[in-house]
């Protein structure tokens, strides 16, 4: 009886309960959710920058716009970097590589991209700008010793087809040399060179400090060139003021800081998706907010360019990282 009762008690089913989630697992899950939220915010912030630039340069000269927004970015970045506890001291031997990176990765990119949106639509400008990964791989062959693969050759071919679609449309529509497209290609090349230079160089400094000094060196020549026209600026609308503040304090500072933060916390392919999604947001927001044309030419060119950017992240065998050089 007692044995039977014991046996019956032992065989009676107990309610199944999932073990409580550990504090570490819960923290990791919340961290992933927050990283995903920041990723979406980054794509939106960088995508909306393109129509914002178009609004600003419609009322503010390009040099003045970039000078003002860059100074705002430098001030904001210095405050953020110091508040985060990082030093701005530059090690010996790092001044020259920092200047080169700042001129190409910040100065030339900012100036040429702003000029580009005055010559062509903001959506088209964003599409061409984000061919950067293709050019970066091309430049990485001589600068980093990277392999020439079928993926990279395919990406180059797809990017060229997409650009030819845009250039051909400009020529047939306006009968003129597509200066805006060429300017934006130059901007993408400068961005790509700066990115590859960044990869091959060891500055011996925290990332935040590196970005701060790059903003300084990139902004300095733009400010000098803009000095003659700054005193003659006329009052502008609140939309142009807001777009300038957005470009300097949000798109540059939040965008760069968030991207660097995401690169450390998400897989490379996930964080690199911003290269695919940003021009899509730029193209769509320019059509919605500015009424820019979104016809078959833009759609076909976008498909080729997105496919080209996608080849920048093929499933190649992993390669050992190149040794940083100064």
Contact 221, 190 (CB under 8 A): no
Please report which confidence band the pLDDT of residue 138 belongs to, taking 50, 70 and 90 as the band edges. confident
Please report which confidence band the pLDDT of residue 274 belongs to, taking 50, 70 and 90 as the band edges. low
Q: At residue 35, does pLDDT exceed 50?
A: yes
Tell me the C-alpha to C-alpha distance, in Å, between residue 36 and each of 68, 198, 259, 275, 306: 32, 25, 12, 15, 21
What is the predicted pLDDT for the residue at 326? 41
- From CA 223, how far away is CA 4, in angstroms rounded? 91
What is the predicted pLDDT for the residue at 275? 65
Q: If DSSP states are collapsed to H, E and C, what string results for 250-317?
A: HHHHHHHHHHHHHHHHCCHHHHCCHHHHHHHHHHHHHHHHHCCCCCHHHHHHHHHHHHHHHCCCCCCC
Query: 2 or 89, which is more confident?
Result: 89
Question: pTM value?
Answer: 0.76
Please report which confidence band the pLDDT of residue 17 belongs to, taking 50, 70 and 90 as the band edges. low
Q: At residue 168, does pLDDT exceed 90?
A: no
Q: At residue 148, does pLDDT exceed 70?
A: yes
Q: At residue 181, does pLDDT exceed 50?
A: yes
Contact 282, 126 (CB under 8 A): yes
Q: At residue 229, does pLDDT exceed 70?
A: yes
Contact 203, 91 (CB under 8 A): yes
Q: At residue 9, does pLDDT exceed 50?
A: no
User: Helix, strand, or coil here: 135?
Assistant: helix
**What is the mean predicted confidence (pLDDT) over 142-163?**
80
Contact 104, 190 (CB under 8 A): yes
Question: In a 10 Å sphere around its CB, with 0-12 CB exposed, 13-18 middle and 19+ buried, how is residue 60 labelled?
Answer: buried
Residue 77 tokens read as 């970045």
Query: 205 or 279, which is more confident?
Result: 205
User: Helix, strand, or coil here: 89?
Assistant: coil
Contact 114, 62 (CB under 8 A): yes
Please report which confidence band the pLDDT of residue 97 belongs to, taking 50, 70 and 90 as the band edges. very high
Contact 297, 169 (CB under 8 A): yes
């Amino acid at each position: 009886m007692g044995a039977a009762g014991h046996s019956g008690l032992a065989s009676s089913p107990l309610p199944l309960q999932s073990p409580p989630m550990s504090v570490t697992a819960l923290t990791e899950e919340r961290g992933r959710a927050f990283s995903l939220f920041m990723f979406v915010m980054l794509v939106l912030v960088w995508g909306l920058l393109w129509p914002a630039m178009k609004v600003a340069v419609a009322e503010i000269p390009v040099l003045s716009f970039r000078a003002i927004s860059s100074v705002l970015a430098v001030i904001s970045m210095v405050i953020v970097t110091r508040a985060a506890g990082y030093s701005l001291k530059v090690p010996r031997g790092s001044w020259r590589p920092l200047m080169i990176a700042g001129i190409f990765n910040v100065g030339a990119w900012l100036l040429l991209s702003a000029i580009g949106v005055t010559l062509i639509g903001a959506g088209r400008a964003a599409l061409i700008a984000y061919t950067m990964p293709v050019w970066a791989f091309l430049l990485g062959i001589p600068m980093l010793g990277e392999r020439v693969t079928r993926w990279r050759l395919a990406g180059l071919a797809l990017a060229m087809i997409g650009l030819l679609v845009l250039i051909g449309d400009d020529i047939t529509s306006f009968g003129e040399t597509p200066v805006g497209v060429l300017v934006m290609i130059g901007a993408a090349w400068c961005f790509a060179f700066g990115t590859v230079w960044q990869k091959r160089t060891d500055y011996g400094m925290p990332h935040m400090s590196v970005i701060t000094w790059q903003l300084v060196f990139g902004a300095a020549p733009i400010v000098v060139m803009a000095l003659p026209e700054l005193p003659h600026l006329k009052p502008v609308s609140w939309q142009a003021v807001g777009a300038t503040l957005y470009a300097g304090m949000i798109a540059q500072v939040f965008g760069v800081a968030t991207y660097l933060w995401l690169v450390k916390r998400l897989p490379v392919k996930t964080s690199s998706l911003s290269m695919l999604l940003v021009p899509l947001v730029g193209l769509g927001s320019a059509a919605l907010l500015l009424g820019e044309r979104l016809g078959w030419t833009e759609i076909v060119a976008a498909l080729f360019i997105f496919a080209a950017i996608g080849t920048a992240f093929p499933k190649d065998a992993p390669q050992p990282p190149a040794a940083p050089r100064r």
